[in-house]
Amino acid sequence: MILYRLFLLFYPILAKLISPFNEKAKYWVEGQQKVWEEISVLSGQIKGPIIWIHCASYGEFEQGLPIISALKKTYPTHQIWVTFFSPSGYLYRKHHPDVDFITYLPLDSPTAANRWMQMVQPKCIVFIKYEFWFYYLKQAAVQKIPTVLASAIFRPDQLFFKYYGGFYRTMLQLFTGILVQDITSKTLISPLLNYTHLAISGDTRFDRVLEIAATKSSMDWVSRLANVTTIVAGSTWEQDHQMIGSILGSWDHCNWIIVPHHVDAVAIKNCQSHFANSICLSEWLKQRNQMEKPMVLIVDQIGLLSHLYQYANIAYIGGGFTKDGIHNVLEPAVFGKPVIWGPNDSKYQEAIGLRNANGGVRIKDAKSLNKTLERFLNDAAFVKHTGAAALKYVQYNAGATQKTINYIKQIYASPTDQKL
């Protein structure tokens, strides 16, 4: 517990110190300063029982959206309150039709947890994937509020499995139920649980990308690009830009649409420095001409990527050359697109599964990227086969949302909704 308390003590201090130089830290500090005021205002607007969903950031919210939508249908008299730890979720998902209230999660403490429960009074709680906040979970257990960890995944290198991880193992016991993505996770944590229900539900991201594909938004501006092969490189980082820029001369007969993970002014400027004659989408949209030659287009807007993949011939997923690892390979796979990503995918079961299903290719450097592009661009049958395998992999692994809802219905039976 010492490690946990040290984190709670020093994280806000560190965030405040770096906030003048780090935009994400700045937003988090500002959000925490006004979070209780916002909660107070919104709690006065509650008109029904609250189901509380907590997501770390934007990615976990996307993962949780199928659950949120299904909960709205299952419990129509209830309202959904979503909390975020990271600004990436709070700022970019401030409004969603299936969510009634969105706030930051106040930093964990006995006082914060007690105050939150009194003001919001959640009747059922769902944490998505990785989130473990001791005092909130403890307060929920004391009040006998059913609490579910959904689409969870566990690895041997996590604190739960260290000799000094006893406190974190205790946190697992505070959940009413833990629904994991795969058998590996279940095998790892099964010996650690006494009373908490444990089951394999799968990963709701498969359901989420299928929803996106079914309701995809069209982007008319894409038709103005030259009629050549289009490669969409999504959620890219500096390392990705350096590598792609180094081999671009061999593939300048293709359209390249680069979608950086960060789109602030500094990040976009750094991205452009790797691509001569590139242009930002916001600037290009001011022009109305039809492109006759291939181009490098840098997307400097949020929220387009998941729908943009439908127009790709080939997709490249960024992050594989960073310590954190790759981003969402399922978003292009659901459109039947062959997917390429960097070497750091060991923590991402969906990428490993996609690779094993022959729906994607992992590269290790610029040379292997060049070789992979050469095969894709010169072998139409290989592109078709890889894309079909990618879509099949997504479809095969769908269904986690319904399993999650079925479990929630077992542990939380709302008197009001039972009468409907």
From first to last of its 420 residues, what are the pLDDT tens digits of the chain? 888 999 899 999 999 999 998 888 999 999 999 999 999 999 999 999 999 999 998 889 999 999 999 999 999 999 999 999 998 888 876 678 899 999 999 999 999 999 999 999 999 999 999 889 999 999 999 999 999 999 999 999 999 999 999 999 999 999 999 999 999 999 999 999 988 999 999 999 999 999 999 988 899 999 999 999 999 999 999 999 999 999 999 999 999 999 999 888 889 999 999 998 899 999 999 987 888 899 999 999 988 999 999 999 999 999 999 988 999 999 999 999 999 999 999 989 999 999 999 999 999 999 999 999 999 999 999 999 999 999 999 999 999 999 999 999 999 987 665 443
CA 218 – CA 228 distance, rounded (Å): 19
Residue with structure tokens 């010169």?
A: 378
105 contacts 82 by C-beta, under 8 angstroms:
no
Every domain of the chain and the residues it spans: 2-202+399-418, 217-396
23 contacts 17 by C-beta, under 8 angstroms:
no
Comparing CA positions, the residue from 405, 400, 233, 220 lying closest to residue 331 is 233
CATH class of 2-202+399-418: alpha beta
Which alpha helices (DSSP H) does 285-365 contain, by range?
305-308, 330-333, 349-356
CA distances from 7 to 108, 133, 295, 306 (A): 10, 12, 46, 34
CA 385 – CA 391 distance, rounded (Å): 10
Burial tier of 74 (Cβ tally within 10 Å: 0-12, 13-18, 19+): middle
Which token pair is 406?
A: 């079925």
Please indicate whether the domains covering 2-202+399-418 and 217-396 agree at the CATH topology level.
yes
- Host H or E run for residue 261: none
Angle, helix 110-120 to helix 134-142, in steps of 10 degrees: 50
Beta bridge partners of 150: 128
Q: Which CATH superfamily is domain 217-396 in?
A: Glycogen Phosphorylase B; (3.40.50.2000)
Residue with structure tokens 């390249």?
A: 256
Which token pair is 333?
A: 């796979």
Sequence-ordered list of residues with C-beta below 8 angstroms from that of 133, at least 6 positions apart, any chain: 54, 105, 108, 113, 127
